[in-house]
Structure 1
């Protein structure tokens, strides 16, 4: 076991069957937390459970649950399931989301309304982040708990996003909602912050652009400091460590209502855009 920073804490992480959510679940479990793992794929949820046990978590400290937070029925009982299982809730990680694509091949603002609606629903829809948070708040008030929302660096700063506006716009709404919630909830003793990852090498990204293109893009940006000054894409663990930092009052108590960008410095110099990447790959 890595440590006991979160010993006895109960953590609910949406979308924890892969990527950033999975990495966060494993880190929390390794630090002594009791973790509620959620995801749409039973096989991946089970994989996360086994990964948590591999870092020292007891089976009794893990509660895997399969379902889609876009399903109102599943969403409505999720917090209740946590309380019935562990008796309390200390930390809520709103991580679930998706990047929708237009199957006709259209990009940017040429994509169809249906794509915008799906992206808005999965990345901001009030029945997900807002409703889940509202259901969790009475329990988090009791424990003086913490909330971390997962957004994107594409929603921050003055730069536009040509190829993925339907992803950036609902995430920007999530950021503003997070700030408004943070102001209200801190008065009740509950902290709320947001992490805004940049390019992250996860299965989510690989599914979006294809495994081969994901490798090419990672290699490309690593060779171009004008894209990522740090010289590499972030990993799911990089983002997960930031999530744990924000959930740990011993080290981040005075951080409230902030959006922490995790992008290796990309926002200091440019806007990584998928359309630009496609052009560069065509030249390669």
Structure 2
């Protein structure tokens, strides 16, 4: 486990304790860096030890796909941080299949466990402390793929759609206790995991949906991990103190919503 340290940014999160799942690379690592730079103490996780965790963050191996893994992570957060003020659910993903009928039953369960139930279980363990303190922020990272679901990824998008619905309901439940719950929905972001998924999809030789690599982004580029991390930092800060039950879509205009 590495040593906790603070960054040298605005310090608007000084004194806050943050837990970020899946923070060893891509969007998760960018979130960790920005929270550190804002002065937060940060604990992050991955399924196995890695040397890519941003410097200054504490790290613990954790598999959030199971109830036991969630319980172990919550206990580690209590031990390392003494509690959690900001919880960012970033761990997620799934591999594509040729079509919906080709997705094995165990992959449906895997997608639900990683992309939906991991958040439900960890929230159930950590939200009570936030309620008691009458303060806290929870963020669920979804995916713009939910907006245009296609067969090869239905297990993933169905789980993320459930996550978005759950996030709204939890937000209304916790709002009277001063706890804010929001969703961040990234569009196509250039990350190692995203690139690997697009390569898998290309090898399937199936007709792509709008979420595939040939989609166009009105702002003219793929997203960067920091684009999503900026949104997370905003929602974690007091600047978003009147925002809850919202879904902040960060997609370069690819999926306009009324």
**Same fold judged by TM-score > 0.5?**
yes
Q: Does 1:266 align with 2:254?
A: yes
In structure 1, the partner of 2:130 is 140
CA contact 1:93–1:149 (8 Å) conserved in 2: yes
Q: Secondary structure, in 3 states, of the residue corresponding to 1:192?
A: strand
Once the two structures are TM-superposed, the CA of residue 24 in structure 1 deviates from its matched residue by: 0.4
CA contact 1:230–1:264 (8 Å) conserved in 2: yes
Once the two structures are TM-superposed, the CA of residue 143 in structure 1 deviates from its matched residue by: 5.5
Cα distance in 1 for partners of 2:176, 2:101 equals 40
In structure 1, the partner of 2:241 is 253
Higher helix share: 1
Equivalent of residue 107 in structure 1, options 99, 112, 136:
99
Equivalent of residue 47 in structure 1, options 52, 58, 65:
52
CA contact 1:13–1:35 (8 Å) conserved in 2: yes
Distance 1:119 1:190, change over 3 A: same
CA contact 2:18–2:41 (8 Å) conserved in 1: yes
In structure 2, the partner of 1:86 is 81
Q: Secondary structure, in 3 states, of the residue corresponding to 1:201?
A: coil
> Which digits, 9 at most, give the CA deviation of each residue in 1:70-89, with x for residues without a partner?
24333112222222222222
Once the two structures are TM-superposed, the CA of residue 41 in structure 1 deviates from its matched residue by: 2.5
Q: Segments of 4+ in structure 1 off by > 6 A?
A: none
- TM-score scaled to structure 1, two decimals? 0.78
Distance 1:120 1:74, change over 3 A: closer
Q: Secondary structure, in 3 states, of the residue corresponding to 1:36?
A: strand
Q: Does 1:175 align with 2:164?
A: yes
Cα distance in 2 for partners of 1:74, 1:133 equals 13
- TM-score scaled to structure 2, two decimals? 0.85
CA contact 2:62–2:72 (8 Å) conserved in 1: no
Equivalent of residue 38 in structure 1, options 41, 45, 52:
45
Q: Does 1:150 align with 2:150?
A: no
Q: Secondary structure, in 3 states, of the residue corresponding to 1:266?
A: coil
User: Is the radius of gyration larger for structure 1 or structure 2?
Assistant: 1
Cα distance in 2 for partners of 1:74, 1:68 equals 5
Once the two structures are TM-superposed, the CA of residue 209 in structure 1 deviates from its matched residue by: 2.6
**How many residue pairs align between the two structures?**
239
Equivalent of residue 203 in structure 1, options 183, 192, 195:
192
In structure 1, the partner of 2:18 is 11
Distance 1:111 1:70, change over 3 A: closer
CA contact 2:84–2:126 (8 Å) conserved in 1: yes
Cα distance in 2 for partners of 1:111, 1:134 equals 29
Distance 1:160 1:69, change over 3 A: closer
Distance 1:139 1:107, change over 3 A: same
Q: Secondary structure, in 3 states, of the residue corresponding to 1:164?
A: helix
Q: Secondary structure, in 3 states, of the residue corresponding to 2:93?
A: coil
